[in-house]
Chains A and B, each alone.
Chain A
């Protein structure tokens, strides 16, 4: 599947900062995050709760709520500069060029509108088609996400569908206008595993058909391993490691990435789990130096004094660590 990805990024973000002002002080939810999403590829943004992965993508979409301050050096989407675009221009990009699938399909769909009305509205506002044509296109769309008897269920309301079907409908609404970038924010977290498998298969299929790139936000390393070609690991609002899924899962170089993998249980082997001690830092007053230092088992003298920058050494790989783990296993 990597063959589909060509080198021009369809989404390019550099130096993204997002902070929220609260009564207790400024929360730096995202600091200096940069990534390129290539056409047709799946890039996973991985992290635990509060790592800033969802806020980063909401900033790109221009849908951060509340009193947020967003700054970036560059934010480009398919040739459009998002930093200079006005609200009207951004509104036109959403849906057609970039769209979002949320975790919770029940709250993302409007409970008082039928599925047909919600999907049809997309076609009518963006493509200016007639009501009849919008309905026909909506039925076609529901078929493309394999919703059984789409022509009969088009007038049903969200509560009449199961969780898996609602997620299919949400995905349908996200791909209705054939966007170039799909942001999937924990798209299967609320679902049972057998239904998760179906939704991930559907995303694969749609990606092949439409050639869209997917930015996958997840905390689940199994979903990353199944779906993505590249991965960017976030901790306390910053990127700590990026690279290809194969490289990083084989030999993580940031101690946080390694610790996260060691803490994940596996079905085939029964080994004592190795949890990460403590919990993620308070983003109002993060620890000095590397934000992971209070929990790190690979600590050196620089870690509590100097914040490590994200630097690339090998092609396509980078990490923010003064004392990265060295791959001990022989390569090849």
Chain B
């Protein structure tokens, strides 16, 4: 991996209005989030619903405009530069809603080629067939319609479309959460395989820690619009420092009865609060077992340092140490 990030986001914030653009109450979906992903690296962005991970993903591909902050591709601001935009493509969560039911697979996968004027006629068809083969589908599929495919196959079509413009970065928003376990593994392996072959960087938005563990090199955890912890997948998922990451880890159930039964009676209290009215101080403080007065008044900032796995950091006044995390 080279030392220069391929895609970088600096201090991104996005505010929406709940219940109408004019009279609705503003809430910050994403607040001052920075990230960097290296070529060929997978960075997972993890968190529960409403944490801002999808909004972050949509800003990275240009589907939302950030209110503050900037997005850099190889150090250059992306803004409205179409040539740079092409380098960052998205795979959507729902393989049923994200493919136009009235278009053939050929036209769906070729759309980025058409939009960016990359191939026409026979070259266009050949490129689509090559892409379909690359994602493990029969090239003959190109004349068929989305409804003729299973969920896993549709997600392969979505991945083929995202790859059509030869991007350097793939932003995948919960790409496997709508799929059955057995099929989920096919798609995860396909992404890992494509990354090895094409050297693309992947930003993988997910809520399932086990899936994240299988695919990612580094992990960033979000809670209520803020990044609370970041680091190598091993460190963040196995020995988390932020009490919220510890709670997520403790709630994740694995197919191992002895281990899963340990979670009985240990649920973290409360639910993520309303983003319209985030609590003052650390946003996790009302649910945190380690809360002190400082947490209720001052918002902790993420202090990053570089370790063997890249950037690492935690936004917490009382981070959990390794030994405690293991016994929790």
Chain A residues with CB under 8 Å of chain B are: 48-49, 162-165, 192-198, 200-201, 204, 219-226, 245-246, 249, 259-261, 263-268, 270, 272-277, 279-280
Contact = CB atoms under 8 A, between A and B. Distances in A.
A193 to B, nearest CB: 4
13 contacts: A194-B267, A196-B253, A197-B263, A200-B267, A221-B255, A226-B261, A249-B255, A260-B182, A264-B210, A266-B210, A267-B237, A267-B252, A276-B185
Contacts of A273: 185, 188-189, 214
A222 B255 CA distance: 4
Interface string B173-189: 00000001111111011
A224 B255 CA distance: 8
A165 to B, nearest CB: 8
Interface stretch (B78-86, B106-114, B242-250, B314-322): B242-250
Interface string B285-305: 000000000000000000000
Q: Which of B153, B207, B213 has the most CB of A within 10 A?
A: B213
B260 interface: yes
A225 B267 contact: no
A133 B151 CA distance: 49
Nearest to A47: B180
Contacts of A265: 185, 188, 208, 210-211, 213-214
The 3 closest A-B pairs by CB, nearest first: A222-B253, A275-B185, A221-B255
A285 to B, nearest CB: 16
A225 B150 contact: no
A270 B214 contact: yes
Contacts of A225: 253-257, 259-261
Contact of A264 (B255, B257, B263, B266): B255
Contact of B254 (A222, A246, A280): A222
Q: Which of A193, A245, A246, A279 has the most CB of B within 10 A?
A: A193
Given A49-B180, A197-B250, A263-B184, A272 B210 contact: no
B251 interface: yes
Interface string B252-287: 111111011101111111011000000000000000
Contacts of B214: 265, 270, 273
B130 interface: no
B311 interface: no
Contact of B264 (A204, A249, A266): A204
Q: Which of B183, B251, B255, B265 has the most CB of A within 10 A?
A: B255
B188 to A, nearest CB: 6
Contact of A194 (B185, B213, B247): B247
A223 B249 CA distance: 14
B251 A194 contact: yes
B271 A195 contact: yes
A260 B180 CA distance: 10
Contacts of B265: 201, 204
Contact of A192 (B213, B249, B257, B272): B272
A279 B266 contact: no
A267 B209 CA distance: 7
A162 B254 contact: no
A140 B260 CA distance: 31
Contact of A226 (B181, B184, B185, B253): B253
B137 interface: no
Interface in B148-179: 150, 152-153
Nearest to A192: B48
Contacts of B98: none
Contacts of B259: 225
A275 B264 CA distance: 29
Nearest to B287: A194
Contacts of A249: 255-257
A249 B253 CA distance: 14
A226 B182 contact: no
A222 B209 CA distance: 12
B252 A279 contact: no
A197 B150 contact: no
A275 B257 contact: no
A274 B213 contact: no
A280 B254 CA distance: 23
A261 B150 CA distance: 21
Contacts of B266: 197, 201
Nearest to B149: A279
Contacts of B211: 265
A263 B237 contact: no
A266 B254 contact: yes
A198 B264 CA distance: 9
Contacts of B186: 275, 277
B138 to A, nearest CB: 13
Given A49-B180, A264-B181, A267-B249, A193 B207 contact: yes
Contacts of A204: 264-265
A162 B255 contact: no
